[in-house]
Homo-oligomer: A and B are copies of this chain.
Amino acid sequence: MSILCVGSVALDSVETPFGKAERVPGGSAVFFTAAASLLSPVRVVGVVGDDYPDEALDFLAERGADLSGIEHRKGESFFWAGRYDFDLNSRDTLETRLGVFGDFRPKIPDSFRSSRIVFLGNIDPDLQHDVLARVESPDLVACDTMNFWIEGKRDRLVSLLEKVDILLINDSEARQLAGEANLLKASRWIQAHGPEMVVVKKGEHGAILFSEDGVFFVPGYPLEALADPTGAGDAFAGGFLGYLSRAGAVDPEHLRRAMVYGSAMGSYAVEAFSVDRFRELTQDEVATRVVEFRRMTSFEIPTEAPQHV
C-alpha cells in the first residue's frame, strides 16, 4: 500500500542546547516521509522554492519515496527558525517566512489519487479538505493539526474530522480542541466528532492511542544524547502509518505495534538535527529498538498471585 502525504517541505534553522543547524531540510512532509519510507512506499505532495537543496532529499527517493508531487516554484521555500530551551520542552519561534508555501494549493498528481492511506500533515484545514476531495476512497485517512488552526479555523477543522479515521495530535492541543482538560474525555469528544482513533502525542512522555479497543500507551524512548526535537511528531506519524501500510491491516494488535514504531521513529528524529538520523537508518535498527520497547514495558501476571498473609 502507498501512503499519500501532504504537508510542508521547509528549511529550518534550529538552535538547541546541544548544537545548531542552518537552513536544513524540515517540515511535516519531510519528517513524515523520512520515517515512513523505511516501512512503506510514500507519495509526497508539497511545494518548494528555487532555493531548496533538492539533493538533500535524494535519500528519500532512493528509498522509494515518490517526490514527483513536490511542486517547484519561483521564490523562497518555507523557512522556520527556532530556539529550544534547556529541557527541550519549550521553544521560541525566532522567524517564520512562508515564501511559496504562503499560497500553497496542493496539486495531487493523477497517479497519486488512488492511494490507500492518506496523511494530512499540519496545514490549513481548507487545504486538508481540498486534498481529501481529490483522492479516491482511501482506506485510512490520518490527520495532524495544531493550535493555530484550532484557534483560527475551528469550524473547518471540526468538519474535517468527520472525514478522518485517525487524528494525531499533541496532548495540549487535544485538550484545546475538545475544550476539556481531562485527556480521556477530550479524546471521547474528538471520537464523537468523527475519528474512530485518536493518537495523543506527549513528547518525551510517549503517546496514547484511544480506540474501540480501549487505551494503549507507548513511552518515549529514553535517550541519553538528544539533539533537536523538531519533527518528532511527524516522524511518529510516519512510523505509525508506515507500519500500518506495511502490515496491510488496521486491527488492534497492528495498531499497538504501529504506536511502538511511531515512538521509535520519533526518537530517531530527536537524536540528530533535521532528518539526519534517518539517512543511514536501517530496518534492522528499527526492529531492534522495537524489541527494546517491548523489554521496557512488558510484565507478566502470574495466574496464582501470592496472597497477603
Contact = CB atoms under 8 A, between A and B. Distances in A.
Contacts of A257: 299-301
Contacts of A300: 253, 257
A19 to B, nearest CB: 15
A86 to B, nearest CB: 6
Interface string A275-309: 00000000100010011001111111100011110
A306 B217 contact: no
A38 B39 CA distance: 47
A219 B183 CA distance: 14
A67 interface: no
A301 B39 CA distance: 16
A291 B301 contact: yes
A295 B38 contact: no
A217 B218 CA distance: 9
A248 B216 contact: no
B290 A301 contact: yes
A44 interface: no
A205 interface: yes
Contact of A301 (B217, B294, B301): B294
A246 B283 CA distance: 43
Contacts of A298: 256, 297-298
B215 A182 contact: no
A226 interface: yes
A247 interface: yes
A87 to B, nearest CB: 6
A260 interface: yes
B219 A217 contact: yes
Nearest to A202: B205
Nearest to A39: B308
Contacts of A164: none
A214 interface: yes
B308 A184 contact: no
A299 B253 contact: yes
A308 B296 contact: no
B305 A181 contact: no
Interface in A203-227: 205-206, 208, 214-217, 219, 222-224, 226
Nearest to A290: B301
B205 A215 contact: no
A222 B308 contact: no
A40 interface: yes
A185 interface: yes
In the A-B complex, the 8 residue pairs with the closest CB atoms: A256-B299, A217-B219, A205-B205, A297-B297, A184-B224, A184-B222, A215-B296, A217-B296
6 contacts: A40-B308, A184-B224, A208-B219, A217-B297, A253-B299, A259-B299
